[in-house]
Amino acid sequence: MEFCREFVQELEQIVGPAYVHTDPVDLQCYAFDATFEEWRPDVVVRPATTDEVARVLRLCNEARVPVIPRGMGSGLAGGTVPSPNGGLVLSLTRMNRIQEIDEVNMTVTVEAGVITADLQAEVERRGLFYPPDPSSIKHSTIGGNIACNAGGPRCLKYGVTKDYVMGVKAVLADGRVFSAGGKPIKYVTGYDLPALLTGSEGTLAVVTEALLRLTVKPTVARTAAVAFHDLDLASQAVNKVLWAGFVPATLELMDDTTIHTVEEYLHIGLPLDAAAMLIVESDGRDERVVDDEMQGMVEIFRAAGAADVRVAKDEKERDALWRGRRSVSPSLARRRPHKLGEDISLPRSAIPEAIRRIKGVAAKYGLPIAIFGHAGDGNLHPNILFDRRDAEEWARVQQAMAEIFAIALELGGTLTGEHGVGIMKRPFVSQALDPTAVEAMWRIKRALDPHNILNPGKVFPAEVTG
């Protein structure tokens, strides 16, 4: 798609010439996300206000120009990568203000470009807490978290992004602005539009502001690493902990491939003879209660056949354990040039069978696959390691990916728990969703974006044209 100079000048009048980019070098910076998908946009616009977003969308809607909303580009499904037809990338990173922290009602109002870790640090200075903690926490934005309904290790106890979105300000494809939701805890007047937009991957409207629920910051945390020589025992232990009534802040799983990769990278003493390792954390505001909860879980793990249980004795050891978990992605990058990081979501009971089958896929196609994720809620992250420059190997990766998705669906799971569909999982959506449900989604899409300019080519199956 080629833009005439007059169109670019109109964009410059809206946001200022310094915030409209057409130079090929600048455009290349917005051609990719955290995947290996890559298509260069025709123009990048960086608005600073909701009004500017509305004016840009109004102009694009009239000209039928595709608009790709974007935060920091940390997505793992190609959700902010332009289509082969190009279009306009709408970067919201300048909209990075925390507008209000309401300590009485325990809410915070933020613009879409606020970095998640920055928001957390600011509210924690006041004794408050925003729990969602995706691995990209230090550079992903609240708008991007809302677009994909991001989760993270703490979601077992605290929930995911959708559980904290109380209200939004958003712009429709034609430039109309609306607000939905509010500070009342009980708010059921009309349809739940904030929930509809959460997880919609920028295909229905552009969220520019969000009203988020906060809770009280926990002041005590205890963390343990639990090694098992048998994967089934590790999975059974997870269910035994939950059946005992414990709700740990986190309950993470790393398989043997992941353990070896991280240990080679960090040298922090991870158990190389383990088939699986759990990282479990208890938190709260009463030290005795937190200690009792951790002790109770440790007893269950030992009775369930754990080979080793190591409770961090101080903050340094605790940080080392979490550094290991959060270093999984960079450690994998040391093994192969590329990785395909998926996030299938399963019933907890299906985790052992899913891992066994995925390891079978790895052997079948001769590809290393590291498996880790959130054992407490069944969200696994199989990461296929490969070199995309090798066409034959890339073909095997695509076959392996399709089989992994088929395994998830056969075991009662789904394609994604927190990364979104984007480009990469779009071909498989028709296998995961009821056709009537897909048509209902398309009806919503048509109603809000009749010309299909908002993030086209994402989420919906390719064979459905709308």
Residue extents of the structural domains in the chain: 5-91, 100-216, 220-325, 336-426
Instruction: Check if the beta carbon of residue 181 is closer than 8 Å to that of residue 211.
Output: yes
Q: Which residue has the tokens 């958003």?
A: 170
What sign for the dihedral angle of Cα 138, 140, 145, 146? positive
Please state, in angstroms and rounded to a whole number, the distance separating the CA atoms of residues 223 and 279: 7
Supply the pLDDT for residue 4. 84
Which element (helix H / strand E) includes 117? Answer: helix 116-124
Structure pTM? 0.95
Domain 220-325 has CATH 1.25.10.10: no
Please state, in angstroms and rounded to a whole number, the distance separating the CA atoms of residues 155 and 133: 8
CB atoms within 10 A of CB 48: 17
Domain 336-426 has CATH 3.30.70.2740: yes
Supply the pLDDT for residue 463. 47
Please state, in angstroms and rounded to a whole number, the distance separating the CA atoms of residues 109 and 214: 10
Identical fold at 220-325 and 336-426? yes
User: What is the percentage of the chain residues whose pLDDT exceeds 70?
Assistant: 98
Question: pLDDT per residue over 304-347, tens digit each?
Answer: 999 999 999 999 999 988 888 888 988 998 888 889 999 999 99
**β-sheet with 206-213: strand ranges across:** 98-102, 107-111, 206-213, 165-171, 177-181
Supply the pLDDT for residue 465. 45
Please state, in angstroms and rounded to a whole number, the distance separating the CA atoms of residues 370 and 367: 10
* Cβ-based neighbours of 319, under 8 Å, separated by 6 or more: none
Q: For the domain 5-91, what is the CATH code? A: 3.30.43.10
Supply the pLDDT for residue 153. 93
Instruction: Check if the beta carbon of residue 167 is closer than 8 Å to that of residue 194.
Output: yes
Please state, in angstroms and rounded to a whole number, the distance separating the CA atoms of residues 418 and 438: 19
For the CA atoms of 117, 120, 121, 123, the dihedral, rounded to the nearest 10 degrees, stands at 160
- Closest residue by Cα to residue 278 from 311, 313, 243: 311
Supply the pLDDT for residue 462. 60
DSSP string spanning 361-379? HHHHHT--EEEEEETTTTE
Give the chain's mean pLDDT. 95
Question: pLDDT per residue over 231-258, tens digit each?
Answer: 899 989 999 999 999 999 999 999 999 9
- Closest residue by Cα to residue 108 from 215, 196, 200: 215
Question: pLDDT per residue over 202-231, tens digit each?
Answer: 999 999 999 999 999 999 999 999 999 998
Intervals of the chain under pLDDT 70: 1-2, 462-466
Please state, in angstroms and rounded to a whole number, the distance separating the CA atoms of residues 204 and 455: 9
Q: For the domain 100-216, what is the CATH code? A: 3.30.465.10
Q: Which residues pair with 345 in a beta bridge?
A: 379, 414
Rg, the chain, Cα only: 22
